[in-house]
């Protein structure tokens, strides 16, 4: 089969596929089970596992909340209980499941099988539950150790439930763990995240205690990570080397209709896609992941799912699991799921909106405004603290979301800009400005929307709108960190956000103690604190259009940083002044930050090199041959026309255009190849890629697109945007 025939075959395969039916869970009588009846059936949680005695459970929950220390006898009980639970369901192996600095997850499987006194038994020892020793030599470490220092450790995270992963021929018990070096430095996403959560717990609990909240023993960070993705038929995916190699199309001409009619967003879900979504939900629910929302996104072929909030550490683990399950289920339905932030140029890319809040053990959401937010002094102070945190540490927050993929998306009229700002909405903005002006705030008479139609139910207007152009927006009772990339491991940006907030909150605690000691009431002290931080942080508050050119100019006047590329943003990691808030609180060690700089910069360079190599190869293997073949066909027609005395005006014009574009394409590709081969690895390499090589690659993409639009369809061997985005 020729390459062109393969493209035709791929089209036929895609359009002739039928929705894949799934077996919905039923009981012995054939009754369909409710989701609540099989939810988390593949999860072992110490809070609910029936295999754990109640007396032990109480002690374990106290450990989980940080009230007491973990005892060896606790581990013995859990090891025995989880072994019985997992093997009774058919599991034969276990693994310490962790998140190295690759941005994904890692696992090494060990059998439960042991030989004792010559007889085979199933066993999960205490030591193997608590600690593993993977070979750390091939994981990213940023030069933090010598090549021969291969040892690393995984340490069980008691706060994140264990779970079973199903495969075609069995199940594996996954034990969420941290991953550290031989010397105890974090080589993963989880360890700093856990440290930051502990710090928030410490300072926020103290904050609530200072202002007189009763019964508060702990404060947890909650997160809900929305996940956007594209689905492409696998037959097209494997016909595009760039998608396979880099996750994005390095060139491609837009179809006449893409997203400009805005009809895909929240539109009726295609039957085959819906079958995939239903299968996805089934798998996620069995893993205890509360997949709540599913819908079409803005771009054709783009979709989104969103879970219910959970503790930030669990949410980070579950988001990694979500991406893995999406990939697995998509493959089953003959799709390939793309998590790249910009897989297709000219249409919307994908993000991962991280919804973030803090809650006490008493059920108090610190970001809940109540019915009268202007009189809720605690709430106003907390929001002011967060605004100050973003104002001070916006550079670090931007660094925390930096990646080669996100550089394509941020500021591209579809996603928040690379300028980190805070959206508060009209109501909160008016309240804070009244406080700063020393005036009283008067709420509007009614928050009921008049729809002008008595057949419709009355709608209550929220205190804030939803600004999709803001990278960090208050959305009712939480902040939505919208600028996080769709492939990101969310533990990294959440740890930085936690650290930024906890550092300002620790200062606030000292301020409140001082003011209360002078005889001021709690409300008076909170009002002074609110005024202090809002006076400082107002430059970072922006409620307008973050996509506008005017905002870029205005942000510069306000002194807000604007790192347009990843190499720029990563320099923050090398500036002790910018990262002191993380090291001083023990969230990251100085060496761990250096490690992350080296790893992230190296990853940026490698990702771009892969993209450039893919682009150069496809130009030589696909685009130029198609152009030459079309030129030969045109010359043949021109010769025949001249033999009969006809003037080949049209053919000459087409040939001239193709010839000009092909020459430019070939020359620019050669320049990119030369630049790539002579690149080397110096401190300027990443910056050179961003400023010099990326513009070359974008010019090459434009030349390819021009040829794609003119070369006949039957001569073009690669699947087009039309194929990949619309045929399923």
For helices 312-332 and 190-210, the axis angle rounded to 10 degrees is 140
pLDDT of res. 139: 81
User: How many folded domains does the chain comprise?
Assistant: 2
> C-alpha angle 633/634/640, rounded to 5°?
95
Other residues' Cβ atoms within 10 Å of the Cβ of residue 192 = 26
Q: Does residue 721 fall inside a structural domain?
A: yes
Q: Does residue 97 fall inside a structural domain?
A: yes
Residue 186 DSSP label = B
Other residues' Cβ atoms within 10 Å of the Cβ of residue 268 = 9
Q: Does residue 309 fall inside a structural domain?
A: no
State the Cα–Cα distance between residues 303 and 339, nearest whole angstrom: 11
Return the CATH number at 693.
1.20.120.1560
Helix, strand, coil percentages for the chain (3-state, nearest 5): 50, 15, 35
Q: Does residue 163 fall inside a structural domain?
A: yes
Task: Give DSSP secondary structure letters for 494-561.
Answer: HHHHHHHHHHHHHHHHHHHHHHHHTT--HHHHHHHHHHHHHHHHGGGB--S-TTSHHHHHHHHHTT--
pLDDT of res. 423: 94
pLDDT of res. 465: 53
| CB 497 within 8 Å of CB 222 | no
Q: Does residue 433 fall inside a structural domain?
A: no
| CB 322 within 8 Å of CB 337 | no
- CA dihedral of residues 113, 116, 119, 121 (deg, nearest 10): -30
The domain boundary residue, chosen from 160, 185, 210: 185
| CB 369 within 8 Å of CB 436 | no
The domain boundary residue, chosen from 185, 215, 243: 185
Residues recorded for the chain: 728
Which residues 6+ apart lie within 8 Å of 138 measured at CB?
Answer: none
State the Cα–Cα distance between residues 564 and 195, nearest whole angstrom: 30
Range of the domain at 143: 39-185
Return the CATH number at 159.
3.10.20.70
Residue 167 is inside which H or E element, if any?
strand 162-167
pLDDT of res. 444: 65
> b/e per residue, 646-657, with b = 16+ CB within 10 A?
eebeebeebbee
| CB 199 within 8 Å of CB 496 | no
Could you list the beta-strand ranges (E) of 168-290: 170-181, 219-225, 227-233
The domain boundary residue, chosen from 162, 185, 208: 185
Q: Does residue 268 fall inside a structural domain?
A: no
- CA dihedral of residues 145, 146, 147, 148 (deg, nearest 10): -110
Q: Does residue 494 fall inside a structural domain?
A: no
Other residues' Cβ atoms within 10 Å of the Cβ of residue 459 = 11
Ordered mean pLDDT values, 10 residues apiece, the chain (728 residues): 76 88 91 95 92 85 76 88 96 96 94 93 93 77 61 90 94 96 91 97 97 95 97 96 97 93 91 97 97 94 96 97 98 97 95 96 94 87 98 97 94 74 91 88 62 54 64 93 95 98 98 97 96 96 89 94 95 97 98 96 97 98 97 94 91 96 98 94 93 97 98 94 94
State the Cα–Cα distance between residues 343 and 351, nearest whole angstrom: 12
Q: Does residue 569 fall inside a structural domain?
A: no
């Amino acid at each position: 089969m020729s390459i062109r025939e393969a493209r035709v075959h791929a089209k036929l395969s895609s359009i002739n596929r039928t929705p894949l039916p799934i077996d919905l869970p039923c009981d012995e009588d054939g009754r369909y089970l409710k989701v609540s009846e099989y939810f988390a059936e593949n999860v072992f949680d110490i809070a609910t596992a029936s295999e754990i005695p109640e007396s032990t459970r109480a002690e374990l929950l106290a450990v989980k909340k940080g009230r007491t220390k973990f005892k060896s006898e606790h581990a013995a009980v859990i090891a025995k209980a989880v072994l019985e639970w997992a093997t009774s369901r058919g599991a034969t192996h276990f693994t310490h499941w962790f998140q190295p600095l690759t941005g994904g997850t890692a696992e090494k499987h060990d059998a439960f099988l042991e030989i004792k006194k010559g007889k085979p038994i199933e066993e999960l020892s205490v030591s193997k539950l608590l600690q593993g020793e993977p070979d750390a030599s091939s994981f990213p470490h940023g030069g933090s150790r010598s090549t021969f220092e291969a040892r690393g450790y995984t340490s069980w995270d008691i706060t994140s439930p264990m779970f079973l992963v199903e495969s075609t021929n069995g199940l594996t018990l996954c034990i969420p763990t941290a991953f550290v070096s031989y010397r105890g430095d974090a080589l993963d996403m989880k360890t700093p995240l856990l440290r930051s959560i502990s710090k928030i717990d410490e300072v926020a609990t103290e904050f609530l205690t200072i202002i007189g909240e009763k019964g508060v023993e702990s404060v947890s960070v909650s997160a809900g990570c929305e996940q956007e993705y594209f689905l492409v038929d696998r037959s097209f995916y494997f016909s595009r080397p760039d998608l396979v190699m880099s996750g994005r199309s390095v060139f491609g001409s837009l179809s006449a209709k893409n997203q400009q009619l805005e009809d895909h967003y929240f539109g009726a879900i295609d039957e085959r896609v819906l079958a995939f979504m239903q299968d996805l939900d089934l798998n996620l629910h069995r893993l205890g992941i509360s997949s709540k929302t599913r819908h079409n996104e803005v771009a054709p072929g783009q979709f989104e799912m969103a879970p219910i909030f959970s503790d930030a550490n669990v949410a980070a683990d579950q988001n990694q699991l979500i991406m893995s399950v999406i990939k697995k289920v998509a493959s089953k339905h003959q799709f390939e799921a793309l998590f790249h932030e910009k897989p297709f140029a000219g249409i919307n890319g994908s993000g991962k909106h991280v919804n973030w809040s803090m809650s006490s053990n008493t059920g108090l959401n610190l970001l809940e405004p109540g019915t009268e937010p202007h009189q809720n002094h605690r709430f106003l102070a907390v929001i002011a603290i967060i605004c100050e945190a973003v104002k001070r540490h916006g550079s670090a927050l931007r660094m925390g979301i930096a990646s080669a993929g996100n550089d394509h998306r941020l500021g591209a009229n579809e996603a928040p800009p690379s300028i980190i700002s805070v959206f508060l909405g009209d109501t909160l903005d008016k309240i804070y400005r009244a406080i700063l002006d020393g005036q009283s705030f008067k709420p509007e008479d009614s928050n009921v929307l008049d729809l002008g139609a008595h057949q419709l139910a009355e709608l209550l207007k929220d205190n804030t709108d939803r600004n999709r152009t803001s990278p960090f927006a208050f959305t009712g009772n939480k902040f939505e960190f919208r600028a996080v990339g769709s492939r990101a491991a969310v533990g990294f940006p959440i740890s930085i956000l936690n650290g930024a907030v906890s550092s300002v909150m620790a200062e606030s605690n000292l301020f409140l103690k001082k003011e209360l000691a002078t005889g001021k009431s709690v409300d008076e002290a909170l009002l002074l604190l609110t005024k202090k931080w809002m006076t400082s942080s107002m430059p970072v508050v922006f409620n307008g259009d973050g996509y506008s050119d005017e905002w870029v100019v205005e942000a510069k006047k306000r002194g807000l940083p604007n790192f347009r590329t990843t190499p720029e943003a990563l320099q923050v990691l090398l500036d002790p002044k910018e990262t002191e808030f993380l090291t001083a609180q023990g969230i990251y060690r100085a060496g761990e930050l250096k490690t992350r700089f080296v790893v992230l910069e190296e990853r940026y360079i490698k990702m771009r090199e892969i993209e450039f190599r893919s682009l150069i190869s496809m130009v030589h293997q696909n685009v130029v041959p198609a152009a030459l073949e079309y030129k030969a066909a045109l010359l043949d027609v021109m010769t025949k026309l001249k033999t009969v005395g006809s003037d080949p005006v049209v053919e000459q014009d087409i040939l001239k255009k193709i010839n000009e574009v092909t020459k430019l394409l070939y020359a620019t590709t050669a320049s990119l190849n030369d630049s790539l081969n002579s690149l080397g690895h110096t401190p300027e390499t990443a910056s050179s890629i961003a400023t010099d090589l990326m513009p070359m690659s974008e010019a090459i993409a434009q030349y390819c697109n021009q040829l794609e639009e003119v070369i006949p369809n039957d001569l073009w061997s690669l699947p087009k945007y039309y194929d990949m985005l619309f045929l399923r």
